[in-house]
């Protein structure tokens, strides 16, 4: 579903460091372990008090709630429209009825900027509410020629969702971050993420059909990266580096608290600084357009974001289907990775009050659209999807 590493990705060239948020001065940018850790860093930087009232999107992964739960925040929620946008009139009603709200989290879904983010930022300022933009899906997305994540007081990113990083999040601020915030996230040792780096190389080597010398190189890569992967597992099993056992970017809830003080590895940071943002965005948009072209005739599939707005950098190709879980199972049997997008229903959220969010969780299927895919890959996946849909 996400990009994987190959030898050509190794950061041997000089750093580009000219793309938001990499181009920000260090006083306004903090690299974290993942997106949730970046949210936690934002709450620490603003010195949010325990038990504070916060406003969050009902349509969320669930991991975003962890930093607020850690502070025992009183959480209020809002629904999104059927196009993932935010109803500003409804938002104004909530803000007026809850004058003690301190923070609002706004999500730029699937690599597409919220269309009225500037107006929402103004609403928050009028109510003296701190706005955090969740750009975990929106690395390299732009709106009217400007990088997404510059309208609120803070923005968070999860670069590992877009790039072949074993870990990596970021917090950026409209003002200078507190010195204590900058000192809180310690760089991650490469040892701690070695097993995931090795796995990423191996996954890349396994992908695609290769012949001759290319196939030999594939087996050599698999063998070469088996050694550090095995070594990392032995180290973890023996407990020699027990503090690193929990270091998985997908950890959620209270189990994620240890990663909140952890930063990014030098290896992942260098990969980030060498990424070609324009090329990543161009390829993802082209892949999305090809998906649309190939499955437009499937009557029982509703394409989400059929026409991408200018500047969007799609995270996945997302469709609405009747039985996403069954589609995932059938596609897996065809060796196609897909998932029911954000299917988990957090017990924190009163779901009957948020029908659109609940409907999304029960109907969305996410498929790969990343920059390493070829046209042949997408044509094959689209064919498999049509077989799965026709089987219903």
The set of residues, in sequence order, having a beta carbon less than 8 Å from that of 9 and lying 6+ positions away, is: 164, 271
Residue in 132, 106, 122, 111 with CA at minimum distance from that of residue 44:
132
pLDDT tens column, 44-73: 999 999 999 999 999 999 999 999 999 999
Paired strand residues for 259: none
Average pLDDT, the chain: 89
pLDDT tens column, 113-131: 999 999 999 999 999 999 9
The CATH class given to the 7-187 domain equals: alpha beta
The mean pLDDT of 169-176, rounded to a whole number, is 97
Radius of gyration for the chain, computed over Cα atoms and rounded to the nearest angstrom: 21
pLDDT tens column, 219-248: 666 666 666 666 666 666 665 555 444 455
Q: Which of 86-90, 93-97, 231-235 has the lowest mean pLDDT?
A: 231-235
Question: What pLDDT score was predicted for residue 97?
Answer: 96
- The helix/strand/coil state of 146 is strand
Show me where the domains of the chain are located: 7-187, 277-390
The mean pLDDT of 17-31, rounded to a whole number, is 92
Confidence at 185, pLDDT banded by 50, 70, 90: confident
Question: What pLDDT score was predicted for residue 20?
Answer: 94
Q: Sheet containing 29-32: which strands, arranged edge to edge?
A: 29-32, 169-173, 154-157, 130-134, 101-107, 53-57, 74-78
Paired strand residues for 79: none
- The helix/strand/coil state of 137 is coil
Q: Which of 85-94, 208-217, 261-270, 341-350 has the lowest mean pLDDT?
A: 208-217
Question: What pLDDT score was predicted for residue 193?
Answer: 74
Residue in 279, 186, 199, 272 with CA at minimum distance from that of residue 232:
199
pLDDT tens column, 134-168: 999 999 999 999 999 999 999 999 999 999 998 99
Question: What pLDDT score was predicted for residue 218?
Answer: 62
Establish how many alpha carbons lie within 13 A of residue 123's alpha carbon, considering only the half-sphere containing its beta carbon: 21
Fold exhibited by the domain 277-390: 3.90.1150
pLDDT tens column, 338-355: 999 999 999 999 999 999
Report the share of the chain in percent with pLDDT over 90: 71
pLDDT tens column, 300-339: 899 999 999 999 999 999 999 999 999 999 999 999 999 9
The mean pLDDT of 245-267, rounded to a whole number, is 73
């Amino acid at each position: 579903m996400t990009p994987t590493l190959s030898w050509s990705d190794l950061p041997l060239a000089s750093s580009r460091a000219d793309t938001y948020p990499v181009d920000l001065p260090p006083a306004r940018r903090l690299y974290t372990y993942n997106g949730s850790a970046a949210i936690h860093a934002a709450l620490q930087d603003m010195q949010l008090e325990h038990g504070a009232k916060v406003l969050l999107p009902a349509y969320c992964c669930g991991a975003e709630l962890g930093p607020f739960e850690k502070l025992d925040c009183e959480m209020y929620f809002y629904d999104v429209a059927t196009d993932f946008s935010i109803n500003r009139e409804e938002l104004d009603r909530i803000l007026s009825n809850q004058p003690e709200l301190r923070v609002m989290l706004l999500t730029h879904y699937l690599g597409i900027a919220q269309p009225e983010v500037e107006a929402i930022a103004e609403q928050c300022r009028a109510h003296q509410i701190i706005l955090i933009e969740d750009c975990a899906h929106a690395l390299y997305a732009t709106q009217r020629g400007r990088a997404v994540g510059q309208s609120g007081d803070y923005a968070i990113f999860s670069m590992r969702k877009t790039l072949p990083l074993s870990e990596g999040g970021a917090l950026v601020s409209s003002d200078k971050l507190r010195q204590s915030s900058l000192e809180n996230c310690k760089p991650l040792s490469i040892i701690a993420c070695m097993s995931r780096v090795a796995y990423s190389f191996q996954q890349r080597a396994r992908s695609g059909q290769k012949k001759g010398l290319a196939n030999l190189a594939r087996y050599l890569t698999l063998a070469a990266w088996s050694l550090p992967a095995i070594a990392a597992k032995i180290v973890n099993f023996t407990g020699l580096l027990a503090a690193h056992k929990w270091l998985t970017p997908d950890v959620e809830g209270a189990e994620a608290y240890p990663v909140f003080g952890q930063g990014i590895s030098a290896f992942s940071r260098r990969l980030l600084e060498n990424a070609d943002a324009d090329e990543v965005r161009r390829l993802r948009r082209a892949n999305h357009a090809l998906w649309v072209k190939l499955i437009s005739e499937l009557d029982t599939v509703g394409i989400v974001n059929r026409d991408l707005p200018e500047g969007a950098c799609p995270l996945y190709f997302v469709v609405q289907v009747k039985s996403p879980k069954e589609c995932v199972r059938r596609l897996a049997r065809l060796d196609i990775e897909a998932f029911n997008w954000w299917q988990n229903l957090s017990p924190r959220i009163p779901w009957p009050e948020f029908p659109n969010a609940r409907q999304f969780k029960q109907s969305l299927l996410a498929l790969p659209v990343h920059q390493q895919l070829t046209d042949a890959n997408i044509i094959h996946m689209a064919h498999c999807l049509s077989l799965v849909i026709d089987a219903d």
